[in-house]
Chains A and B, each alone.
Chain A
Amino acid sequence: MTTHYLVLSGLLFAIGALGVLVRRNAIVVFMCVELMLNACNLAFVTFARQVGNLEGQIIAFFVMVVAAAEVVVGLAIIVTIFRTRRSASVDDANLLKY
């Protein structure tokens, strides 16, 4: 039974990772990152159920809190970049190099 949940989690993670790699729009990349985090949460909850204690579920809550915080900071950065450069493409923000 848990296998199905885990396969789903893996699929979601793969979709997220692929999205991060191939999409240029910062918002979409951001949502893909969230997707990967949630895939992880699903795996945590699955394992927690299988093992029969609450630790995995607690960690899932932690991840959610961190993800929420990340959204706040991340979106703020994306909006600022968009305002100054009129673009939300991650490939355009490449000044930090060498």
Chain B
Amino acid sequence: MSPWLPILMAVPVVGAIVVALLPKGSDKLAKQVTLLVSLLTLVLTGVMAAGFKPNGDRFQFVAEYNWIPSFGVKFGVGVDGVALVLIALSVVLVPIVVLASWHDADGVKTADGTLITPKRSVKTYFSLLLVLETMMIGVFAATDIFLFYVFFEAMLIPMYFMIGSYGGAQRSYAAVKFLLYSLFGGMLMLVAVIGLYFVAGKQTFMFPELVGAIQDPVTQKWLFAGFFIAFAIKAPLWPVHTWLPDAAAQAPAGAAVLLVGVLDKVGTFGMLRFCLELFPDAAKAFTMPIVVLSVISIIYGAIVAIGQTDMKRLIAYTSISHFGFIVLGVFAMSGVAQSGAALYMVNHGFATGALFLAAGFLIARRGSPFIADYGGVQKVAPLLAGFFLVAGLAGLSLPGLSSFVSEFMVMIGTYSSAAHGSGALTVAAIISAVAVILAAVYILWMIQRTMNGPTAEPVKAFKDLNAREVWVLAPLVALIIGFGFYPKPLLDVINPSVQQTLTNVDVPTSTIAEKGTGQ
């Protein structure tokens, strides 16, 4: 029993209560306390991660407490490599988001100068942020499937309020759409969770004990479908993606970062952990349809992104394309592709986070998310333009930036995967490589229209980034460049865990290519 994970989960929630109980009018104090608590969580996670042994037990820092004994439900937590890096991603992003949203809860300014006032107070926003952090840690740390489900659903609540109470003009529509979509998937998952409990008949929800418990292929398929649809909506995968552009466009920039950067990763994380390991035969049987869906996501997301007029929606669609890559990597049934997919989850969080925040800073200056309202920003705000460019380049997976490594691994792993000897995965890899070209178009065209050219009249009054905003973006850019050249620290943690997963699915895990398979 290790107290680390319960402590990590307790710190933000205690902070949230403190922030919520602060007297009215102490907004600044609330922000400072939130920042402090999130930094404390970051430090604690760092100390914990330092003690993680990549080649040790699969689940480390394990803690189990009885919760509902009559059903065998436990409060069971523990992390493997993939979960650890995703928790690290979450706790890194939260302080950055806190700093970035310093004024987000004060109201949203629109282009014509009117202010959309939030429905709730500033301190509530930051309190919700900390509650969300606890849940993000919890959902990745949960080893009890029931506990995972609880966090999976409970995460919707703070995010619902963050979008619905602090967002843009159409916040109610976006928040309800987000909630209903997610709840629909969640219900299916609940059915599957209960079904798993009874079919396995082991009187427990603990994940390690349930691996391999379901043998019947037909049962596997039904339960797999329940989990997968929930995760596909969360991820989101084409064609159940339409909630994301609305939610991301209406949410305040910081909330959008957590939504796309972390919450959506729960979907792909769930596929990797639960869909594959609990139902290996079903996963193999459904590989082809899922690969087709993910390739459609990759290309479709990219093409629709090119045609967007709203920056935040554009970034949301690029994420749909990127999630296609992650799902492709998860289901390509090869060690390289799956390590790449796990790495992609982290890198995408940093890259898209940086892009959303930079776009958020830009939008905050003008009050309009529409690309056509900008032009020539580079001349008046070179720092902002520079950060925007680097974030954009990370979005198009420029080699030397972190997202390239993961995208490369996913594609090359998919290409070489022998899972479906017919070469279908080879074709999938080649088609998905076309996204490399499309990515250049959607990012660079957006940059050209916003940053380059003659300076538009309203843009002339723009101020460049202030110190706070630089401190928001600089760490992300440093991480993007650092992991672009040296991804080894992350991969060393991810690889053993991926190997374990694939062994449970009974797929060869070697990163050494099977020579001659491509001939």
Q: Touch between A and B in complex, CB under 8 Å?
A: no
